[in-house]
Amino acid sequence: MRVDFHSHTNQSDGSLDPQELANFMAERGVEAFAISDHDSLAAYESGFEPAPGTRVITGIEINTTWRENEVHVLGYGVSLGESPLRELIANNQRERRTRAEMMVDRLRRAGYSITFDDVLREAGPAKPIGRPHVAKALVRGGMTSGIESAFRDLLRRGKPGYVPQFYATPQGAIEAVAASGGIPVLAHPGRLRDRALIEALVPLGLRGLEVFYPLHDARDVAEFAAIARRHGLVMTAGADFHDIRYHTGGVGIDVDETAIRPFLDLVLH
C-alpha cells in the first residue's frame, strides 16, 4: 500500500501549494495521505481537493524541544475548530518569528547582508517562519551555495546564525493534540539525538511512532517497530516531502498494509 502521512506545503516550509501537493500524491499513486505542515493547519483551510478515491487525514507537525533534542510531534485526526491546539500553534508561530529575527541579527553581526524582509519573502504565505526560510534567503542573496551549506556552515549549533528553539514541550504538544481529538505520533525517531526519549514519551500519552521514514534503515525500522509493539503504539509512514529539488524521492512510501492498519482504523472512519 502506498501512503504518506508526513508532507509539507508552502503554508510552512514546503514549495508546493496544498492543491499541487494533493495532485502530486495522486500522480504517485498515494492512496491515503496527510499534509503535516509545521505548526500550521492552514493547508486544510485552503479548499484543496484530493483525487477521487484518495483518503485524506488531517495532520500537523508540532516543533518542540526537550533535553536538548528537537522533538517533532505529529498530530493526526485533529479538529479544525477552536481547540487547545490552536493556542499552541499561535504561540509556536510567535516563537518562530522571534527566533528567525534573532538569526538574522546574529548573521548581520557576523557580516552577512541578510535582512528579515528577505526571510519573509522566502516564507511567502507561510505564517510559521523557520530556519529553511532563512537558509533560502542566504542562498538567494549569494551568501552561501545551497540549502545544505546554509545549515551546515551558518545555522547549526556552534555556527554564527544558530539560535536554539524555545517552542512547546513534547508533553504540551501531546496533550494539545489529544485534547483536540487527535492521535499524537513521534516523527522520525531516528533523527533524535537521544533515542531514550521515545520510552520517556510513552507514559505522557504518545500513541504512535513514525516507523517508516526515508532516513530509517532496516535496523531502525526493526527497532522502532519493536518499540511500537512493546508499548501498543500505532505505526505510521511518511516521506517528509518539502521540495523536489531537495527531496528527489518525491512523495509516497510503500508499506505492508497490516503494519499501518491499526493507525488507519483510528483515523479513517
Domain boundaries, the chain: 2-88+180-267
CB atoms within 10 A of CB 109: 10
CATH number listed for the domain at residues 2-88+180-267: 3.20.20.140
Asked if the model's pLDDT at residue 164 lies above 90, the reply is no
The Cβ of residue 40 has, within 10 Å, a number of other Cβ atoms equal to: 24
Confidence band for 165, pLDDT divided at 50, 70 and 90: confident
Helical (H) or strand (E) element with 94: helix 84-109
Residue 127 C-alpha from the chain's centroid = 14
pLDDT, averaged across the chain: 95
Beta strand extents in 21-161 (DSSP E only)? 32-35, 55-66, 69-76
Q: What is the pLDDT of residues 66-104, one digit of tens each?
A: 887 889 999 999 999 999 999 999 999 999 999 999 999
pLDDT for res 166: 79
> Residue 269 above 80 pLDDT?
no
Question: Helices in 110-248 by DSSP H: which ranges?
Answer: 116-123, 131-140, 147-150, 170-179, 196-201, 218-231
Quickly count: other Cβ atoms within 10 Å of residue 215's Cβ: 9
241 burial type by CB count under 10 A (0-12 exposed, 13-18 middle, 19+ buried): buried
At 13, the pLDDT band (50, 70, 90 cuts) reads very high
pTM for the full model?
0.92
Q: Which residues contact 126 (CB under 8 A, 6 or more apart)?
A: 10, 11, 12, 13, 37, 40, 133
Size (the chain), residues: 269
The C-alpha atoms of residue 130 and residue 132 are separated, in whole angstroms, by: 5
User: In sequence order, which residues have a C-beta less than 8 Å from that of residue 174 and are 6 or more positions away?
Assistant: 73, 184, 201, 204, 205, 206
